[in-house]
Amino acid sequence: MTDEQTIPAAGAGGRAAANAGLQASLRVLAVSVGPLVAALVLGGLLLLAMGFNPFSYYGYVIQRALFSPSGFEATLTRMGPLLLIAASLIVAFRAGLWNLGGDGQYLLAAVFVAATVPLTLGVLPVWANLLLGLLIGAAVGALWSLLPALLKAWQGINEIITTLMMSFLGVSLANVLVKLAFLDPGTTTPQTRTLPVEARLPRLFDSSVSSGLLIGLAAVIVVHLVMTRTAFGMRLRLVGANPRAAVHAGLSVPALTIAVFAISAALAGLSGAVDILGTHGNVRADWNPAYSLTVVPLVFLARLNGFGSIAYVFLFSALTIGGESAARRIGVPSFFSLVIVAILLIMLGLAEYLDKRHQERARR
């Protein structure tokens, strides 16, 4: 029992604990910012190898995405749906469930919202119409996760497989619906009816930023607080961390599983609704931004922390908006922003490994 002798009883060294706390937070900072710097440097080397000037690329991306008014507003607007996806993933992952079907839930919700909201526009006032759109989005998303949720809750069938399969089905079904059932009779291009600009989510102040950003921010923060501060969140985390302990503590794991799926998929559906109601106004055939699978690495980079996710989503949003401009101007492919995210993930894994090794050495 050597470790018992060296560990002081609790409360003995409050000062030392505070000091250790500071060190710990410094280390967390190094572990989370260090990989970012490394990823940008490696990405720069990659650009160099491709024959581009990394400084002019990064400079252009930053200039376009952050310092040009229209670009910055686009960056913020894009964050709305991404943040809702992040909230959806945080709920599921913290509860130990891999809802990887966000893309299907998002797109189906988007298609149903795009198909119904223009029709009810004349009947309902604008605000009620928007509210209806958000509700439809959340409901459709949640509905599309019902099958994986029931299979997981009752039979323990791996939700990674079922949600991914339902996602493929959902994306295909969404396309079929756009091309056949929800086709706008007024145009020749295969797309749904378009929601007039004045009937979309209101813009913030005098900018072009959609209020979808506020919905996204609110969702992430609420999810974060629910997961960390409430009894419901603790139940979900308990199921996620150790399902057998949850049974031992008397929780109904199947009921919680279904609840998690419903919340997570509803948030993914809400993301689709916000994207349609705030930005696009309609869904064109074969359109699939595949936000869900791109946000998965971001929430992991943020270690499922809501506020960290906001930072990473902002970074990613800026990278894609700037990257899309840079693609047109400099010729660097627009998917290069995904390359940066991928390098970032690898760097993060490496940092975590080094950190763990460092800690083990310190313990000896």
Partner 1 sequence: MQAPSQAPAASTTAPPGAPVVALRGVTKRFPGVVANDNVTIEIHAGEVHVLLGENGAGKSTLVGMLSGLQQPDEGGIEVDGRPTLVGSPRQALSIGIGTVFQHSMLVPSLSVIDNFALGGAWWKTPDRKGIAAAIRETAGRLGLRVDPHALVSSLSLGERQQVEILRALMRGSRCLILDEATAMLTPHEAVALGELMRRLVAQGIAVIFITHKLNEAVAYGDRISVLRLGRNVGEIAPETLRASSDAENTETIISLMFGTAAGEGAVGGARAARSHGDVVLEVAGLCSDAGRVPVRDIDLTVRSGEILGVAGIDGNGQKELAEVLAGQMPRSSGSIRLMGQELGDATVGQRRAGGLRYVTDDRLGEGTVGTFPVATNFLLKDIGAAPYWRRGIERPEEIRRQAETHVRDFDIRTPGTQTPVGKLSGGNIQKVLLAREMTGSAEVVIFAKPTYGLDVNNIRATRKRIVEAADAGKAVVLISTDLDELLELSDRIAVIDRGRIRGTVVNGEGARDAIGRLMSAGDEQ
Residue 128 in the binding site for partner 1 (CB under 8 A) = no
Is 250 an interacting residue with respect to partner 1 (CB under 8 A)? yes
Q: Is 123 in the site for partner 1 (CB under 8 A)?
A: no
For the bound state, the minimum distance from the C-beta of residue 159 to partner 1, rounded and expressed in Å, comes to 21
For 280, the token pair is 């696009």
Q: Which is nearer to partner 1, 9 or 49 (CB)?
A: 9
What tokens were used for 37?
């710097």
229 binds partner 1 (CB under 8 A): yes
Q: Considering the complex, what minimum distance in angstroms separates the CB of residue 296 from partner 1? A: 21
Q: CB 245 → partner 1: shortest distance, Å?
A: 5
Q: Are 135 and 199 in contact (CB under 8 A)?
A: no
Q: Please choose, out of 225-233, 262-270, 309-317, 337-345, the segment that lies near partner 1 by the rule CB under 8 A.
A: 225-233
Query: Which amino acid, one-letter code, is at 128?
Result: A
Query: Is residue 364 within the footprint of partner 1 (CB under 8 A)?
Result: no
What whole-number distance in Å separates Cα of residue 88 and Cα of residue 265?
Answer: 7
Q: Are 158 and 101 in contact (CB under 8 A)?
A: no
In Å, how far are 102, 280, 308 from 190, measured between CA atoms? 24, 15, 39
- Measured from the CB atom, the residue of 160 and 234 that comes closer to partner 1 is 234
245 counts as binding partner 1 under rule CB under 8 A:
yes
Q: Are 220 and 83 in contact (CB under 8 A)?
A: yes
- Least Å distance, CB 304 to partner 1, is 13
| Least Å from the CB of residue 94 to partner 1 | 12
Residue 314 corresponds to which amino acid? F
Q: Which helix (H) or strand (E) holds 141?
A: helix 126-144
Q: Based on CB atoms, which residue is closest to partner 1, 248 or 328?
A: 248
Q: Which two tokens stand for residue 7?
A: 């560990």
Please, which residue, 28 or 241, has the CB nearer to partner 1?
Answer: 241
Among 54, 235, 292, 318, contact with partner 1 (rule: CB under 8 A): 235
Nearest to 284 by CA among 204, 191, 209: 191
**Contact between 8 and partner 1 per CB under 8 A:** yes
By CB under 8 A, is residue 3 in contact with partner 1? yes
Give me the sign of the Cα torsion angle 171, 176, 181, 185: positive
Provide, rounded to whole angstroms, the least separation between the CB of residue 134 and partner 1.
24
Q: Considering only residues 30, 247, 255, 342, which one is a binding residue for partner 1 as defined by CB under 8 A?
A: 247
Residues between 9 and 48 with contacts to partner 1, criterion CB under 8 A:
9-11, 17
The reply to whether 230 sits near partner 1 by the rule CB under 8 A is yes
Q: Give me the DSSP letters along 14-68.
A: HHHHHHHHHHHHHHHHHHHHHHHHHHHHHHHHHHHHHT--HHHHHHHHHIIIIIS
> Residue 165 Cβ, how far from partner 1 at the closest point, in Å?
26
If phi > 0 it is left, if psi is from -120 to 50 it is alpha, else beta; for residue 245 that is: alpha
Q: Are 102 and 268 in contact (CB under 8 A)?
A: yes
Question: Does 244 engage in binding with partner 1 (CB under 8 A)?
Answer: yes
Residues contacting partner 1: total by CB under 8 A? 26
